[in-house]
């Protein structure tokens, strides 16, 4: 019974399946990407990543015997000396800073004819940063970030508000000063008008009235005589 065996049989016997994986791994190391069916790409991923792990172990050690041992193990799986040498000497530096996940699979449209699911499997470069997709934020993280955003917005808006308040205060003070100057000028005009008004000519009018009264009294005295 096939208990706890999760590998895909790919419709082939064991010897045929191992040879298929070796040929696909050799092509992937040489070209860095190959186009195949989705089932074969998923079966190739753990196979090639184990070989890359052997190359990383050989690159990390200084013992020649261990290096030779890891090299022979990889050669027994890939079965191509040129591909193994390329992996151990050139490509291994792209994976030294990675703990795993050395390959990536892109799904393609189904193949015409049998409608098989197609895919591209490739080796990830050293400077590859991925798709750059943002992870969905949880409700707790969103709530935790919202007060910080509000405080930052308030801190950013406070200098502008103070500047606007200062400018409004200066404008209002300037308007008040201009209004007070206008009132003082009006008061001065009123005082000058009051000085030039007929009230200031009252003494002259009183003198004329007294002279008229004196002449009228003299006329009355002369008429009585």
CB 117 within 8 A of CB 61: no
In a domain, 118, yes or no: yes
Query: Does 174 reside within a domain?
Result: no
pLDDT of residue 203: 47
Residue 79: which CATH number? Answer: 3.90.1030.10
* Cα–Cα distance, 161 to 143 (Å, whole number): 27
Domain interval for residue 111: 14-123
Is 212 part of a structural domain of the chain? no
93 domain residue, yes or no: yes
Tell me how many domains the chain contains.
1
Q: Does the residue 27 lie in any domain?
A: yes
Residue 190 lies in a domain: no
pTM for the structure as a whole: 0.58
Torsion, CA 187, CA 191, CA 192, CA 194, rounded to 10: 140
Q: pLDDT per residue over 152-198, tens digit each? A: 655 555 555 554 555 566 666 656 666 555 555 555 555 554 444 44
Tell me the angle at which helices 64-78 and 14-31 cross, rounded to the nearest 10 degrees: 110
What's the pLDDT score for residue 59?
95
Residue 82 lies in a domain: yes
Pairwise CA distance, residues 168 & 214, whole Å: 70
In a domain, 78, yes or no: yes
């Amino acid at each position: 019974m096939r208990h706890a065996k999760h590998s895909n049989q790919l419709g082939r016997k064991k010897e045929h399946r191992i040879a298929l994986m070796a040929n696909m791994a050799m092509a992937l190391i040489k070209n860095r990407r190959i186009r195949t069916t989705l089932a074969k790409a998923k079966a190739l991923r753990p196979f090639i990543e184990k070989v890359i792990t052997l190359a990383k172990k050989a690159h990390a050690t200084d013992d020649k015997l261990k290096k030779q041992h890891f090299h022979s193990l990889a050669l027994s799986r890939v079965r191509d000396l040129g591909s193994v040498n390329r992996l151990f000497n050139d490509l291994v530096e792209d994976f030294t800073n990675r703990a795993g996940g050395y390959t990536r699979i892109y799904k393609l449209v189904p193949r015409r004819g049998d409608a098989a699911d197609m895919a591209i499997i490739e080796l990830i470069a050293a400077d590859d940063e991925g798709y750059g997709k943002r992870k969905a934020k949880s409700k707790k993280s969103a709530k935790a970030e919202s007060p910080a955003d509000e405080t930052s917005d308030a801190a950013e808006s406070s200098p502008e508000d103070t500047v606007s308040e200062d400018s409004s205060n200066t404008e209002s003070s300037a308007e008040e000063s201009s209004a007070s100057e206008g009132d003082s000028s009006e008061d001065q005009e009123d005082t000058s008008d009051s000085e030039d008004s007929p009230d200031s000519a009252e003494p002259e009018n009183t003198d004329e009235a007294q002279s008229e009264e004196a002449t009228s009294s003299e006329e009355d005295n002369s008429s009585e005589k």
